[in-house]
Structure 1
Amino acid sequence: MAAPYTGACNCGAVTVTVCAEPVATRQCWCRQCQRIAAGGPTNNAMFPTEAVTITGARADHAYVAASGNVLTHEFCAACGTPVLGRSNVRPQFRTIRLGLLDEGHGLSPAMAIWTDEAPPWAVIDPNLERWPGQPPAPNVPPVSPEH
């Protein structure tokens, strides 16, 4: 599948539409993401902020990550479904949780990040590019003017 991507939380109160292709797809093994994902990694697609439209009530939680950046996780205020992550130093991106997107989106992680924080039992696809910590920010392609 190609853009636009759509999705919703478990209860349908939060919806997302994304009118661009991801600039990166990642599996994150940082400790905060392991907490969100019940011990495993989060699987995410990074999109240009201006390409993402979200409706519905969201709650959030901000913290200082191991990178030193302030990260904010947003989730549905009604059902708790993880929606996205955002960083204070990378406001040009919204990191959408792949599980939020409608089935058949066709996206999968191309890299695993924060692998040094993965538990000893973690199985990380050997075909993924690996980063022991925070990778550099991806380049942002221009978003089409029809958005």
Structure 2
Amino acid sequence: MSESKSYTGGCACGAVTYRIDGDPMAVRQCWCRHCQKLSTGGPTHNAFFMADAIAVDGTLASNAHAADSGNELSWYFCASCGTQLFGASSARPQMRAVRLGSLDQAHELQPTAAIWVQEAPGWVRIDPAMEQHPAQPPAPPPQNQS
């Protein structure tokens, strides 16, 4: 049995830090129009972890909107500098999407799927080796909690 990993991360100004104990359930890039706005033109790159595996120190701000999927999507960011840190969906409140760019250390987390590709700009070239979904895919499978 392999030992689970831990990750640390935080915002650009250092006011918010976090630690994650565990392995991600999935790593995806999202091309929905909302994520393109949050990322200023590209996709968001997210690793999905159980929310209770994430410990946060510092003040987070948040916002939410109704997504095309019908779910309420929330995004969490540093209240001081605005760095994007996490996303969450009302459909899966037990999970968090951790923005890969907010991780401290180099990591091997690489998206294996692109979602909402029907909303990607025409100039985008998505790696054909990645699984692709035109819209919202099924949730990542739950991890065994041993």
> In which range does the TM-score fall when normalised by the shorter chain?
over 0.9
Please give the alpha-carbon distance, in whole angstroms, between the structure 1 residues aligned to 2:143 and 2:75: 24
Instruction: Provide the residue aligned with 1:74 in structure 2.
Output: 76
Match of 1:92 among 84, 91, 94: 94
Q: Which string of whole-angstrom CA distances, capped at 9 and with x for unpartnered residues, describes residues 54-106 of structure 1?
A: 12111111000010000001111101100100011101101000001013122
Contact 2:87–2:97, Cα closer than 8 Å, also in 1: yes
Conserved? CA contact 1:3–1:20, under 8 Å: yes
Within 1, Cα distance between the matches of 2:112 and 2:105?
19
- The Cα of 1:143 is off from its aligned counterpart by 4.1
In structure 2, what is the equivalent of residue 3 of structure 1? 5
CA distance in structure 1 between the aligned counterparts of 2:127 and 2:18, rounded to whole angstroms: 28
1:116 maps to which residue? 118
**Other-structure match for 2:107:** 105
Tell me which stretches of 4 or more aligned residues in structure 1 moved more than 2 Å: none
- Classify 1:76/1:143 alpha carbon distance in 2 versus 1 (closer, same or farther; 3 Å): farther
Does residue 14 of structure 1 match 2:13? Answer: no
Q: Which residue of 2 aligns with 1:55?
A: 57
Deviation track 1:91-137 (CA, whole Å, cap 9, x = no partner) reads 11010000010131221101000000001111211111000000101
Q: Given the alignment, which residue of 126, 135, 138 partners 1:136?
A: 138
Any gaps of 5 or more consecutive residues in structure 1?
none
Query: Secondary structure of the residue that 2:128 maps to in structure 1?
Result: coil
Q: Percent identity?
A: 51
Aligned pair count reads 143
Cα contact 1:51–1:143 (8 A) shared by 2: no
Report deviation, 1:142: 3.4
In the alignment, structure 2 segments of 5+ residues that lack a partner are none
| AA of the residue aligned to 2:36 | Q
